[in-house]
């Protein structure tokens, strides 16, 4: 293909290509753990140099990306089992394709990201009556008014919060508490050690600069619960399912024990 889609993204936004690449590589295998046709198509069309990424891709890193996608798929489907016409808000959507894998033809879906990302996303993925794009930073308040409902809402933020400060995330969560009581928030976290490891092994090895570094590492889940008594932890999900090979099993088990990386599911607005 000669006419590739050009990329004009900020430093943090470029990290969206990491999980996209992982899903595309996995999808090309004979028996993929996850199949993402859209990711494969984007990789083949976008004008982005994946050479260093392909060279430095570690299996356990890719497994973590796949596991994160599978956890999100599973939890969104579980939410939709309880609320078939529920609303999903995909925060920092990048080039994520969860919608394609979980759509029950009843849900409402919002993909939220910065304007440059939404512009790129629009070249590969279309909006529809039940799927809308919002071009904004999740830290802005105004976009919250674009969600057409207040009940049965799940906010999902995979691979997002670690790039911001704890205070920024705290302010955002408290906003959701007040505006969408009873909603759920699904997101990934890493420990301070996990943050440093990710910056060294992933960001640097893939040729991204320090402006793409993670900045927030969560020491203890209790820190989150201390933000407000209305926050309830309803799920903790470790990346333990896809352990392939003894090395990955041992490294993954150690990572879980140390709380290096995992996902949290919070219910917001619970009165205790």
Q: Domains of the chain, with CATH numbers?
A: 13-267 (3.40.50.150)
State the average pLDDT over residues 10-21. 73
Indicate if the pLDDT at residue 246 is higher than 90.
no
Q: What residues have CB less than 8 Å from 168, skipping those under 6 apart?
A: 139
pLDDT, tens digit, 9 for 90 and up, residues 67-84: 889 999 999 999 999 999
Indicate if the pLDDT at residue 184 is higher than 50.
yes
**CA-based end-to-end distance of the chain:** 58
Average pLDDT of the chain to the nearest whole number: 84
Indicate if the pLDDT at residue 125 is higher than 60.
yes
Task: Write the DSSP assignment of 11-75 as a string of letters.
Answer: TTGGGGHHHHHHHHHHHTSSS-SS--HHHHHHHHHB----HHHHHH--HHHHHHHHHHHHHHHHH
1 — pLDDT class (breaks 50, 70, 90): very low
Look at the alpha carbons of 256, 262, 263, 267 in this order and tell me if their dihedral is positive or negative. positive
The per-residue pLDDT for 57 is: 65
Indicate if the pLDDT at residue 40 is higher than 50.
yes
């Amino acid at each position: 293909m000669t006419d590739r889609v050009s990329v004009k993204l900020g430093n943090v936004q470029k990290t969206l290509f990491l999980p996209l690449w992982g899903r595309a590589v996995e999808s090309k295998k004979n028996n993929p753990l996850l199949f993402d046709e859209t990711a494969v198509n984007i990789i083949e069309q976008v004008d982005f140099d994946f050479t260093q990424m392909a060279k430095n891709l570690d299996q356990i890193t890719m497994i973590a990306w796949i596991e994160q996608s599978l956890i999100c798929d599973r939890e969104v489907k579980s939410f939709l089992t309880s609320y078939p016409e529920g609303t999903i808000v995909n925060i920092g959507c990048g080039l994520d394709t969860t919608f394609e894998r979980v759509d029950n033809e009843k849900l409402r879906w919002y993909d939220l990201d910065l304007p440059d990302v939404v512009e790129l996303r629009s070249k590969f993925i279309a909006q529809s009556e039940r799927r809308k794009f919002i071009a904004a930073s999740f830290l802005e308040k105004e976009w919250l008014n674009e969600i057409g409902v207040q009940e049965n809402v799940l906010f999902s933020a995979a691979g997002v919060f670690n790039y911001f400060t704890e205070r920024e995330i705290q302010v955002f969560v408290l906003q959701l508490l007040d505006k969408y009581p009873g909603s759920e928030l699904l997101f990934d976290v890493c420990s301070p050690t996990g943050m440093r490891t990710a910056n060294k092994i992933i960001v640097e090895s893939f040729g991204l600069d320090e402006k793409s570094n993670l900045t927030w590492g969560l020491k203890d889940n209790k820190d989150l619960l201390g933000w407000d008594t209305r926050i309830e932890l309803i799920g903790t999900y470790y990346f333990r399912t896809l352990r392939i090979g003894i090395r990955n099993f041992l490294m993954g088990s150690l990572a879980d024990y140390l709380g290096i990386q995992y996902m949290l599911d919070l219910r917001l607005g619970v009165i205790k």
